[in-house]
Amino acid sequence: MFDFLKTVPTVNLQALVALALFGVSLFLARIVVNIQSGKWPGSPIFVTYLRMVLGFTFAASIGLGIYCFAGIDVLFNK
């Protein structure tokens, strides 16, 4: 089914993972804003937890992106 992924360089797949993590961080940021503005229910503890997860996903996307620009394969070491 995903045979075309075998021909894609691993650094490019790592870049796709970095973009996906950045998208997840944008989604988490939107959730935090909606909870803080009162549109969605939630407690301050849950907002703190989401902010921590947001920080980790954003840091991971930045780290993977920097490694991609350097051409270093971190995820798929073979």
CB atoms within 10 A of CB 57: 20
Tens-place pLDDT, residues 1-55: 888 888 999 999 999 999 999 999 999 999 999 999 999 999 999 999 999 999 9
Asked if residues 50 and 30 have their Cβ atoms less than 8 Å apart, the reply is no
Instruction: State pTM to two decimals.
Output: 0.90
What gap in Å lies between CA 36 and CA 51, rounded to an integer? 11
What gap in Å lies between CA 41 and CA 21, rounded to an integer? 25
For residue 62, what pLDDT is reported? 98
Asked if residues 14 and 75 have their Cβ atoms less than 8 Å apart, the reply is yes
Contacts of 63 (CB under 8 A, 6+ apart): 74
Predicted confidence band of residue 77 (pLDDT cuts 50, 70, 90):
confident
